[in-house]
Amino acid sequence: MQRVMIIGATSAIAEATARVYAKRGDALALLARNQERLQSMAEDLKIRGANKVLTRVIDVNDTENHTTSLDGTIAELDGVDVVLIAHGTLPDQRACEADISLTLNEFATNATSTIALLTHLANHFEQQGKGQIAVISSVAGDRGRQSNYVYGAAKGALTIFLQGLRNRLAPKGVQVLTIKPGFVDTPMTAEFKKGLLWAQPEQIAKGIVKGIDKRKDVVYLPFFWRYIMIIIRSIPERIFKKLKL
Amino acid sequence: MRISGWGNYPVIDSSVDSPLSPTQVEHCMLAGFNGIARGMGRSYGDSSLSSHVISGLSLHHLLDFDNETGVLRCQAGVTLADILDLFVPRGWFLPVTPGTKFVSVGGAIASDVHGKNHHIDGSFCEHITELDLMLADGRIERCSATHNRELFHATCGGMGLTGIILSAGIRLKPITSSYIDEVTLKAPDLTAIIEMFEQYLSSTYSVAWIDCAARGKRMGRSLLMLGEHAIDAPLRNATPHNRSLPFNMPEHTLNRYSIKAFNSVYYHRKFFARQQRRIHYDPYFYPLDGVLHWNRLYGKKGFTQYQFVLPQESSAEGMRQVLERIVSAGRGSPLAVLKSFGRENDNFLSFPRQGLQLALDFKINDGVFEFLNDLDSIVLDHGGRLYLTKDARMSEAMFKQSYPRWQQFMDVRTRYGADKVFNSLQSKRLGI
């Protein structure tokens, strides 16, 4: 049995991932903002086979309380083997361009808050000398594009942070996994027109658990995004800047 | 965003809310919601379409399961596929299932779906222990066949027009294996298949595929498929399928010649008059779910399914007239499903009633609506009616004549203030 802690647990991808662990009979700690949703999710996961399910309300942007929340959860879960950080928002790029504080808030939710959580968790994992940290970044962090560079910059910052963290924790036996999903059909992307490149949260969840089980460093989900992003990254900047992406 | 039913006709622009909790549904109500709830979008026509819809799919939690009684309480956005995945290995099955597992529990209740065991077990809602409904004013009302009866019978089969179904209790049925023993029998014509339905009334599952392109002496030739849960076989999950039609097929993929050829091959692939096999429940109940997005076979303009039931006493004659009309118009359907229903239930707008039902797919093209109007008059003349879940074009007059309890349904809606808040393109078309 693994002890799995999920932050941003009510997001569609996180919930689908929690169901995979529940089916295996693992113990889960769920952290998110919405108390009502957390409660019914916990009942659901128990019926699906989870050994035990704890919940805790957390506001990721309230970094002052991170230490208490994380330590409290780990104690209640009786230790932790896997952490998945999955919270995030999809900023309205146009609105951000007209509003400094909105831009900074979005950056905080998608980058700073996660970096804060990781700063504390990293020390815990380093000390215990084992365990797995998985964080949802995005293909959007691989290159800045005019259509969503606030989100892209936050995810890009997170990706670099995770690279460094992996470098630090690898010798200690702790895995750090950077997850880069492409287009996923979730409430966060409800307003988008869906095409062939879109994936369901359940598909992404399987890829996440596989990436954790196989102790990978970086996974693109679904796999073909690795090749799409190789192409996107290889376009020279003097051409790229003229594209409408 | 653009939404449509499974028939891809009609397609409309709609603003979609996806509440994560009953409280968020309440917020939608208090903010003046006007429209309809929607689940997996598997009703074929315009039942789940309106300029504003609430998607129930994020309300997808199991709430409680009683191992002794088999009663599962869950939120309305849970799909039948999800229930099967989890409970078949534990020895439980759906009491009633339609021909696709990709429907939500809320949708199954709103359509009061039926399956191959209707003649014995009735329709889906007859196995609902109770349900929680959010009313127009945001209050939650619990109802069942014994408590708040009228609200219950209006909501079951009520196409979402009484409120938002939040959660329900379903009585699952115990099984000892996930396999079905299937027997297929050949019926050379319409008279034969009607007699065979009578003869095999005690089979748990029975349904027939009918070759609606066959004419003359062969008119109504069918394959009757009977099924029983196998006793001495393993409990095993379905293997996930990944075939999918990635895009709409060209408009003429299905034409009268390809349909005729398909039907002939399908009928003759069963060489013997009686064949027996043991198959997994998944291909048995959900043969079309194996190809995701099979609706794209009908091309961009979409299709409509014409599903009607005729009362016992007039079914033989009415069915004959419908088949003659289809053959003479040269409008076959590759997958026509014939089934003998059991008794009618107490729900005001439920489709099934004792008699024979037939379901046919028709591509949307020139003349199809005029042709279906012709079929309407045959169905009406024989005292039959159409399934609201498949409908995209029935007239108000036909609806009100063939669903005599529509007025009682309206009384309940008005009493709960639902008539001013919950409506779909279909309900507006039908004048309810």
Distance from CA of A197 to the nearest CA of B (A): 11
One-letter identity of residue B37: A
Residue B171: partners with Cβ closer than 8 Å, 6 or more residues away: B69, B70, B71, B95, B127, B128, B129
Assess B1–A contact: CB distance below 8 Å, yes or no.
yes
Q: Is the pLDDT of residue B408 over 90?
A: yes
pLDDT attached to residue B158:
98
Q: What value does the mean pLDDT take over residues B283-311?
A: 86
Does B20 sit within 8 Å of A187, measured CB to CB?
Answer: yes
Burial class (CB in 10 A: 0-12, 13-18, 19+), B367: exposed
Residue B237: pLDDT band (50, 70, 90) is confident
Q: From CA A220, how far away is CA A181, in angstroms rounded? A: 6
Give the domains, in start order, of chain B with CATH numbers: 58-175 (3.30.465.10), 179-396 (3.40.462.10)
Report ipTM (2 d.p.).
Answer: 0.89
Does B16 sit within 8 Å of A44, measured CB to CB?
Answer: no
A55-112, pLDDT tens digit by residue?
A: 999 999 999 999 999 999 999 999 999 999 999 999 999 999 999 999 999 999 999 9
DSSP structural state of residue B382: T
Does B61 sit within 8 Å of A40, measured CB to CB?
Answer: yes
Cα B31 → chain centroid: 32
Q: From CA B350, how far away is CA B343, in angstroms rounded? A: 11
Residue B252: pLDDT band (50, 70, 90) is low
Q: With pLDDT > 70 as the criterion, what percentage of chain B qualifies? A: 96
Assess A193–B contact: CB distance below 8 Å, yes or no.
yes
Query: If DSSP codes are grouped into helix, strand and coil, which group holds residue B360?
Result: strand
pLDDT attached to residue B386:
98
Residues of A in contact with B60 (CB under 8 A): 44
Q: What value does the mean pLDDT take over residues B135-161?
A: 98
Task: Say what the pTM is.
Answer: 0.92
Out of A34, A47, A187, closest to residue B21 by CB: A34
Distance from CA of B273 to the nearest CA of A (A): 44
pLDDT attached to residue B266:
73
Kindly state the helix (H) or strand (E) to which residue B199 belongs, with its residue range. Answer: helix B190-199
Burial class (CB in 10 A: 0-12, 13-18, 19+), A80: buried
Distance from CA of B62 to the nearest CA of A (A): 5
Residues of B in contact with A34 (CB under 8 A): 20-21
Residues of A in contact with B28 (CB under 8 A): none
pLDDT attached to residue B295:
82
Q: How many CB pairs under 8 A join A and B?
A: 38
Does B18 sit within 8 Å of A43, measured CB to CB?
Answer: no
- Tell which of A44, A194, A197, A200 to mutate to test the B interface (max B CBs under 10 Å): A44
Assess B32–A contact: CB distance below 8 Å, yes or no.
no
Q: From CA B159, how far away is CA B157, in angstroms rounded? A: 6
Q: Is the pLDDT of residue B389 over 60?
A: yes
B92-108, pLDDT tens digit by residue?
A: 999 999 999 999 999 99
Residue pair A137/A154 in contact (Cβ under 8 Å)? The answer is: no
Out of B16, B22, B61, closest to residue A190 by CB: B16
